[in-house]
Structure 1
């Protein structure tokens, strides 16, 4: 466990820009911390690009607005808050390091062995500076301990004091319960004179750490992190699906236009351009959402590391301060997920090719490129948790064979499910030769009306085990223990069929029950025929 914690500390005490130990650690609103000099250099480069009012965090790309439109990059970097938690961890590392050098003397191009540490200054002292520290009236009463004592006493390592960010040199030693904020004595005298309840920072931190708030925050951070991982995984799946559709539709487009004469080659070029344009539009949206949540995941990882380091090595005061700040960011993560839910869109590319008797005259209007934007099955829970279910498939047949006559007759199967699901598509056998294309119409209905109807051209070369997937334009919600009918009308003469069918099929937590449908005009039944199964999603 100690090794794991140390590895987290190394991560958050290393500057992501220079990859060295942080020097004057300054943090952005997203909580990512950098050397003051490194972030100032980064700001300067952004200013040169004309980005004077806003920059992006170098790690998570969160937008950061300047606190003053007239600030230079140097003034902005100086104005950033110092990360006292990181500063304390760096001091602890220096104390425990085999080479304990005195920082101030190093800055003066001198090196002296560090012997003492001042808790009030959060600084290491050599013997000479220790004597001066005790001799100066302002620092004479500072708490100073030998370094050897610190390396063996973990409680002392948590004793570095937090400084007030508003009043230089003042310790954060009080806590206003009314405003729920830590403060120094000057803050209390100026801003909290009328507040009814002001505690010592130690008492407030002690009460705070007796609660389950740290554990609750860790749990909620983990949930949000899991949600973001699910969204990233779903977006990658959507990208893979989109690219597969793009390749498939582009191949169909090429096959159609390869049969046309050179006089209509310009039409082919225009259609390819349209396809690429809408593909890039969809790809850009998916990439943007994926990148957005990938960057948000970096925030979560950073905040988890901060929480780990804080809980293991920081003082109770630091734990309280950091947890409160992290909770604010947690709420921001939740709101971000909720606000971006409507921007998460699935795309369906389609290529429509009608029978064309006079190709040269009608090619322009007969071949169309289009795309549908569909919402994935997204459930936003009140806590802000987001769950995306995976698309599953079920197959009721154990074997398949050929010579199943269709000739435009409808194959149908009656079925019901054990729980509410989203039906995303239907499975179909392909033509007998396994390579031909043929037209079909697939539909799902209850006893009274059609719930979805889709026409498509299936290609035997795209089949897996002689079965192709027919996706619905939009998922259809099915109720539990209610009878539905799936119907296929195929134009080809003969197709493959299934045998040794199961009346009951359990798939990913859903039980499908099959029986003969009154809409069947062929010989499909629970044990043989067409319609091997379905594509579906669970409702979470």
Structure 2
């Protein structure tokens, strides 16, 4: 497990393009709202060769449930919660209080009262007691969370570097041909013909911190542009819908007016064609 610290920021679901709500991470590492993912799975899952799966909404990689006998409606909630996303969207209550970071790893939302400077973690009362009783953690400086600036609260994120396809194997290789993170078995079974495969260690040597920050900036700008374009398209579609609705209503109104104008003429002609005897008897 690799660990990193992240600042407060907003991550968006790649389906609804809104702030990620209970984010779930697929084996391909793409993350979506639990609700959005559940709706998507129920409409897009396929059964093939006695295996049921669904393609990732972004990269279309096949995603299989952890329990093949589980109902489709439960698949979304079975995927691990992405703490990198969850830390930004679930580290505070509506009143601005901070949730205990330890409890969040188990999908529990308990308000924190303490802050460990060494761990950079918010702690609730029970977690504070467990923290103090640990031999390894008992010497850490723990203060009241009220004494900590919100800008100083950064959530430690555990990044799982185990292979999602092969139990017990660690991700050690990156395949540039498929843009995929792989373990040794992945390379042996699925990437034997790939020509551009490097170890993660070699890949990290290729990039300096400045280059990474520059690329992250570009990705952020590109993502922002994509979201803005999609939002503009939605606005345009809404405007077009309203315009079409008004036009149809106007056409119906004109048609009704035309029919009302033709009614007297039609009535007069109809009366003129009735025989005199029929009119008299009437």
**TM-score normalised to the size of structure 1?**
0.29
| Structure in which a larger fraction of residues adopt helix | 2
Ranked by relative contact order (alpha carbons within 8 Å, sequence separation 6 or more), the top structure is 2
Larger radius of gyration: 1
**TM-score normalised to the size of structure 2?**
0.47
| Structure in which a larger fraction of residues adopt strand | 1
